[in-house]
Amino acid sequence: MSIARRWGFLVLGAVGIVVGVILLLPRPEPVSFGWAAYAPLSNTTFIPFVPGSYVAGALILAVGAALAAGWAGFALGRRTKRRGIPQ
């Protein structure tokens, strides 16, 4: 079995977990002071927020965790089979 096939699901799961956690991190509060080169158009402050990022983060985190858990279960199953434990 090749290295990519052996470790691929674990790497994909780990990447999914990291990306999901990054998307779920809280956004910083807007800064109420500072210098601007133009007059503001309204009293609102722009916050770069993507509305679906929490849902996407949770979904990516769940898929990554499922891939990592599936890899771990498969690896444990193969390990016990190699040891010759009767079933």
pLDDT attached to residue 84: 59
Find where tokens 């609102």 sit. Answer: 44
Residue 15 counted as domain residue: no
pLDDT attached to residue 65: 93
Read off the pLDDT of residues 24-83 as tens digits, 9 standing for 90 and up.
887 766 656 666 666 566 666 666 666 677 888 889 999 999 999 998 888 888 765 555
Whole-angstrom distance, CA of residue 54 vs CA of residue 20 = 9
Residue 59 counted as domain residue: yes
Domain housing 62: 20-26+53-82
Q: How many helices (H) and strands (E) does the chain have?
A: 2, 0
Residue 2 counted as domain residue: no
Total structural domains within the chain:
1
Asked if 17 contacts 63 with a C-beta cutoff of 8 angstroms, the reply is no
Residue 35 counted as domain residue: no
Structure-token pair, residue 86:
């009767």
